[in-house]
Amino acid sequence: MKVAVVGATGLVGGVMLKVLEERNFPCDELLAVATEKSVGSRVRFRGNDVTVIGMESAIAARPDIALFSAGGGTSLEWAPRFAEAGCTVIDNSSAWRMQPDKKLIVPEINGPDLTPQDRIIANPNCSTIQMVLALAPLHKAFGVERVIVSTYQSVTGTGAKAVKQMENERDGVEGEMAYPFVIDRNVIPRCDVFTENGYTKEEMKLVLETKKILDPAIRVTATAVRVPVTGGHSEAVNVEFAKEYDMDDVRRLLREAPGVALLDDPAKDEYPMPLIANGRDEVFVGRLRRDETQPRTLNMWIVADNLRKGAATNAVQIAELLIRKGLLKGVPA
């Protein structure tokens, strides 16, 4: 098993390497891949230094799987070339997510949809993954009709440059800015760029990806906000169902849902926070309560580490599923 991590020197790429190690992924040879400016540098994997190589060298090495986290433009240019060389690509950018012929996969929800013909597989947006993972069992039981979501997103979602900006501001150091405003002791009601309808791309990802993964009939409206924390994204989610629900059933369904951790005991101050989610793969759900302003509606609070389940872990889980199902060309199950 030969695995390429494309974007290995980036924030998500580094977490991909860590997750591959932690999960003891069956990797006989790791190819650390990045743009030309990083070629020749080294990354650590399983206690060894691995020299970073370029795209052409990686394709020539013919990896079985390539985990991409190198930006949409890079994915559009290079993912098809890796696929043409017999590699299955799992891409973390937004490049392929809404392409009609590409699967958008959260393994616990629609992993069974994968086939041997899927050579480029899209990893959903971090905010989408955590929300749909919590919504999926409730949608199956009660039918989600409408979702109103407000996100509180970690600076790690922007990347290392944003983390450095926040650290510099806290230390009183001038430095490069990832945002047009100070982020420390501030919140910025903008994630990604604005689109013609007044929503940001991040907000529209939540709308469109939720429909593609769960159900095109679900109505979603979103507000995405950047907050000065690391460790994970948080979401306040208001869900309207087609059927009436019972709170005990909601808690049971979430408790039993794969990948979900129910943390919902306000009397003991037990509820999800980035501090708890940091470095973990579960999607934490709590603050469950009935919306008293209209029928069949639930309020919930969802938190997950956006670099792990929101990106790297979900990609590695897709790769694991491909192996278990025997969907990789020339690789036995």
| pTM over cut 0.85 | yes
Confidence of residue 72 (pLDDT cuts 50, 70, 90): very high
Instruction: List Cβ neighbours of 269 (8 Å cut-off, separation of 6 or more).
Output: none
How many CB atoms within 10 Å of residue 4?
Answer: 25
Q: Flag whether pLDDT at 333 surpasses 80.
A: no
Q: Flag whether pLDDT at 276 surpasses 90.
A: yes
Instruction: Assess whether 126 carries a catalytic annotation.
Output: yes
Q: What is the mean pLDDT of residues 228-257?
A: 98
Confidence of residue 328 (pLDDT cuts 50, 70, 90): confident
- Token digits for 312? 């790297």
Fold that domain 127-306 belongs to in CATH? Dihydrodipicolinate Reductase; domain 2 (3.30.360)
Q: What is the 3-state secondary structure (H, E, C) of 124-143?
A: CCHHHHHHHHHHHHHHHHHC
Q: Flag whether pLDDT at 248 surpasses 90.
A: yes
CA angle, 56 then 97 then 321, to 5°: 75
Residue of 27, 87, 139, 233 marked active site: 233
Q: Enumerate the domain spans of the chain.
A: 2-124+311-324, 127-306
CA distance 259 to 281: 8
Q: Flag whether pLDDT at 330 surpasses 70.
A: no
Q: Flag whether pLDDT at 332 surpasses 90.
A: no
Residue of 27, 126, 139, 191 marked active site: 126
Instruction: Assess whether 27 carries a catalytic annotation.
Output: no
Q: Flag whether pLDDT at 182 surpasses 90.
A: yes
> In the chain, which residue ranges form alpha helices assigned H by DSSP?
11-22, 55-60, 72-84, 107-110, 126-142, 160-171, 201-213, 247-256, 274-277, 313-324
How high is the mean pLDDT of the chain? 97
The length of the chain in residues reads 333
- Token digits for 276? 């708890």
CA distances from 70 to 14, 115, 215, 236, 254 (A): 12, 25, 29, 29, 33
Q: What is the mean pLDDT of residues 176-196?
A: 97
Confidence of residue 108 (pLDDT cuts 50, 70, 90): very high
CA distance 30 to 45: 8
- Tens-place pLDDT, residues 299-325: 999 999 999 999 999 999 999 999 999
One of 3.30.70.260, 3.40.50.720, 3.40.50.300, 3.40.640.10 is the CATH number of 2-124+311-324, namely: 3.40.50.720
